[in-house]
Amino acid sequence: MGQVLAVIPLTRYYLSVTESMVLDATSETPSTTTTERRETKQQTPGLLVGLKLLFSEGYLIGIFGVSTIYEVVGTIMDYQMKMLAMIQCPSLEDYTAFNAFFGVCTNLLSFAIALTGTSFLLRRIGLRVCLLIFPAAILLTLFAVFFSPTLSVIFAAQVILKGLSYAINNPTKEMLYIPTSPDVKFKVKSWIDMFGGRSAKALGAVMLDPLTESLDDLLIVGTCISVVVVIVWIGVAFYTGNKFHDLTTDRNTTTFPSSGPDSSRNDQHIEINVSSAHPGHEGRDGDEKEGRS
């Protein structure tokens, strides 16, 4: 009987502690959940953050141009080539064989340049010149198309455009992201890759639409439009290459926009040490200081 009476106080104490713990837990749950939701909402990036960052810096707009302008010219030249091919290859078998031969030539040229020339050009002449090689070569081919608008000339011009795009333009445009912030690499690049190329093709199709009724207009006027686009392209590539050179050789720090949750509304910038793109600078600077001392 005494043992039973001794258990009663312990049972009452256990029940009171358990009840208070449950009440505390239930009272704290709504506030904690609300706080977690607010933090999650603040850390969730918006859909248009990358697009806002893209148009906040001239260098990023230059990357956008280098990565997409050639698609406008490629769309115009591709339509010109296919229209001439449909006239000279009336049967389906001949037209299919022509497209297959075009794909083989493009892949062989891009493979040969990538195997022997891409790394060599980047080491010997640098990124600035490589950015200009592609549009300069396309400009020369467009002059050839203008004075001799035949299927063989347009075929060669389109092979050069596609081959240089795969072998030179793609590696160089990826290197342009070296002095940028992680926000740019992950948010702006996705917008350029997904939205930029398709919008450039759409722009080329819009330019072609008034020229589809006349083959002469398509070949002459379409080529003149492509020449104007390439001239703009050369200017964008020149500006972007010089800006890249300044960012990767200047030992000062530069700023690029940041869209992180910790950035303030008035100053949404993060500092990037652009000299990190060339890790050998610090070692050479240290050797020079030791030699002077």
What is the rounded CA–CA span in Å between residue 262 and residue 285? 34
State the Cα–Cα distance between residues 66 and 172, nearest whole angstrom.
9
Based on the number of CB atoms within 10 Å of its own CB, is 157 exposed (0-12), middle (13-18) or buried (19 or more)? buried
In whole angstroms, give the CA distance from residue 24 to residue 266.
41
pLDDT of amino acid 46: 57
pTM here is: 0.69
Question: Which pLDDT does position 9 carry in this prediction?
Answer: 52
Give the separation between CA 56 and CA 257, rounded to whole angstroms.
Answer: 7
Task: List the one residue out of 209, 170, 211 whose CA is nearest residue 192.
Answer: 170
Any idea where the domains of the chain sit in the sequence? 49-248
CA 17 to chain centre: 60
Show pLDDT as tens, one digit a residue, over the chain (293 residues): 544 445 455 455 444 544 444 344 444 444 444 544 554 444 445 567 778 888 888 899 999 999 999 999 999 999 999 999 999 998 999 999 999 999 999 999 888 887 877 777 788 888 888 899 999 999 999 999 999 999 999 999 999 998 888 888 888 888 999 888 887 888 888 888 888 888 999 999 999 889 888 888 999 999 999 999 999 999 999 999 999 988 888 644 454 555 544 443 333 333 333 334 444 444 444 444 444 44
**CATH class of the 49-248 domain in this structure:** mainly alpha
Q: Contact 259/49 with Cβ under 8 angstroms? A: yes
Distance between CA atoms of 129 and 240, rounded to whole angstroms? Answer: 11
**Hey, how many other C-beta atoms are within 10 angstroms of the C-beta on 238?**
15
Q: How far apart (Å, rounded) are the C-alpha atoms in residues 251 and 19?
A: 64
Q: Are strands 253-257 and 269-273 parallel, antiparallel or unpaired?
A: antiparallel
At residue 56, the pLDDT reads 83
